[in-house]
């Protein structure tokens, strides 16, 4: 009998160890992927900035303008204006407020209602800071009308990555159906890409501005979510109720 008990304990320990190893391996892969994506985006941004401001290379941007100029027609212009609108503050501010209200009053997830505005507001501040640092003038020949402010990096590209990228994160956190997850992820990713293309099509940004905005937006989204998740975990540990077992359950009089 004792032999069977020992075997059972050994099997249980082995299973537990295997599960722990599997969890560690999974977490390591996730961390490696995240660090790799962040590092790749950082290196890409540095390379773009070096090409534009130090090496003064503009062939890349001019080729993009030339290619998209051949696609200009009334229908495409209307479509690109629509995509561009989805990256403006006129659309994003109400969208952000609606998302906050949803998680605050309907879904009742306090931390999601915090993450959405924190990521959005901090990315806007980062965008203005980078524009002031680089101070690149916008293209001189806009397709319809000139845009205000500096050009590098593209605010539309940066904001589309942070907001719609955050939407992708929320989709994977809250939707269980794997097919719905992937469909929404693909649609949101395509939306991000076309918002960036629309800015080059309308000639209010260089292609390098858009790529730089994507890189910065991706880095900031990953960093913001990582920091906020750490704060969330820490705050939950602080507020977890402590269950104190009574030293004496009951007593009887003799």
Task: Dig out the tokens for 92 from the structure.
Answer: 């994003």
Residue 233 pLDDT greater than 80, yes or no: no
Residue 85 is predicted with a pLDDT of 92
pTM of the model: 0.77
Q: Residue 32: inside a domain, yes or no?
A: no
Range of lowest pLDDT (20-29, 61-70, 74-83, 105-114) = 20-29
178 domain residue, yes or no: yes
Q: Report yes or no on 48 lying in a domain.
A: no
Q: Report yes or no on 227 lying in a domain.
A: yes
| CA nearest to 79, candidates 203, 198, 233 | 198
Separation of alpha carbons 162 and 83, rounded Å: 16
Q: Which two tokens stand for residue 185?
A: 């992820």
252 occurs within a structural domain: no
Q: How big, in percent rounded to 5, are the helix, strand and coil portions of the chain?
A: 75, 0, 25
* Residue 214: domain span: 57-234
| Tokens standing for residue 132 | 């002031």
Domain count, the chain: 1
Residue 131 inside a domain? The answer is: yes
Q: Is residue 4 part of a domain?
A: no
- Residue 109 CA to residue 81 CA, distance in Å, equals 34
The answer as to whether 154 is a domain residue is: yes
With b for 16 or more beta-carbon neighbours within 10 A and e for fewer, the 127-136 pattern comes to: beebbeebeb
| Each residue's pLDDT tens digit, 18-72 | 666 565 555 567 677 788 888 889 999 999 998 888 888 888 888 989 999 888 8
State pLDDT tens for residues 116-161.
888 888 888 999 999 999 988 898 888 888 788 888 999 899 999 9
């Amino acid at each position: 009998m004792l032999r069977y008990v020992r075997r059972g304990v050994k099997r249980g320990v082995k299973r537990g160890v295997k599960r722990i190893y599997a969890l560690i391996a999974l977490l390591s892969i996730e961390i490696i992927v995240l660090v790799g994506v962040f590092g790749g985006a950082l290196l890409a941004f540095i390379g773009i900035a070096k090409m534009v401001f130090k090496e003064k290379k503009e062939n890349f941007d001019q080729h993009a303008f030339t290619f998209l100029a051949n696609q200009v027609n009334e229908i495409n212009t209307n479509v690109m204006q629509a995509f561009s609108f989805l990256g403006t503050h006129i659309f994003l501010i109400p969208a952000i407020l609606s998302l906050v209200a949803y998680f605050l009053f309907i879904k009742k997830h306090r931390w999601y209602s915090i993450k959405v505005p924190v990521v959005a507001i901090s990315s806007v501040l980062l965008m203005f800071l980078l524009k002031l640092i680089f101070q690149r003038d916008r293209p001189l020949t806009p397709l319809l009308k000139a845009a205000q402010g500096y050009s590098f990096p593209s605010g539309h590209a940066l904001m589309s990555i942070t907001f719609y990228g955050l939407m992708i994160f929320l989709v994977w956190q809250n939707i269980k159906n794997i097919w719905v997850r992937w469909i929404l992820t693909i649609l949101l990713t395509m939306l991000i890409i076309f918002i960036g293309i629309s800015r080059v099509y309308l000639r209010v940004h260089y292609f390098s501005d858009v790529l730089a905005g994507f890189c910065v937006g991706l880095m900031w989204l990953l960093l913001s979510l990582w920091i906020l998740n750490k704060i969330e975990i820490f705050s939950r540990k602080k507020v977890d109720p402590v269950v104190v077992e009574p030293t004496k359950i009951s007593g009887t009089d003799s």
